[in-house]
Amino acid sequence: MTQDYRKSPEAVSKLTPQQYAVTQEAATEPAFRNEFWNNHEEGLYVDIVSGEPLFASVNKYDSRSGWPSFTVPVEPANIVEKTDRTYGMVRTEVRSAHGDSHLGHLFDDGPAEAGGLRYCINSAAMRFVPLAELESAGYGQYAHLFTK
């Protein structure tokens, strides 16, 4: 089953002010004061706007940055990397491919044994789908990621 992930005016209109600022205006939420930085549940993180799958909890780790951090995206085609030159820095911005949501930034200071990348992602850009709800939420094809 192929899902049609896209940004719609209706989805954007349902965003909270924080979600809108992050996804549509490339804002950054406060470190350690966001929904998922310390979430240890098994499940899938999807774009808050389009629903496209982004990251799995099996690739989440504590970077001590105060934001959810992942070593790899669950679907690399759903991630777009762009050069970000704001604030006098050169960084790699991470956006969702279908929702065009600003998600966060990509850094090269992640765990070496997992490839060395750190996808530092704003909680406000994502919706968490717990493992027990993957099937009913239409993400059953990702359940295999959580079998040990």
Short-list 57, 55, 94, CA closest to 72: 55
pLDDT of residue 25: 97
pLDDT at 1 over 70: no
Tell whether 145 is covered by a domain: no
Tell whether 100 is covered by a domain: yes
Tell whether 82 is covered by a domain: yes
Tell whether 106 is covered by a domain: yes
Which of 49, 54, 97, 120 is catalytic? The answer is 120
- pTM comes to 0.94
Tell whether 1 is covered by a domain: no
pLDDT at 5 over 70: yes
Is 120 a known active-site residue? yes
3-state helix, strand, coil in the chain (%, to 5): 25, 25, 45
What Å distances lie between residue 135 and 24, 59, 106, 108, CA to CA? 29, 20, 30, 34
Looking at residue 78, which CATH number applies to its domain? 2.170.150.20
Number of domains in the chain: 1
Short-list 3, 49, 2, CA closest to 22: 49
Tell whether 75 is covered by a domain: yes
Tell whether 42 is covered by a domain: yes
Bridge partner residues of 67 (DSSP): none
Tell whether 147 is covered by a domain: no
Domain span holding position 129:
9-140
Round to whole Å and give the CA distance between 119 and 55.
9
pLDDT in tens, 28-49: 999 999 999 999 999 999 999 9
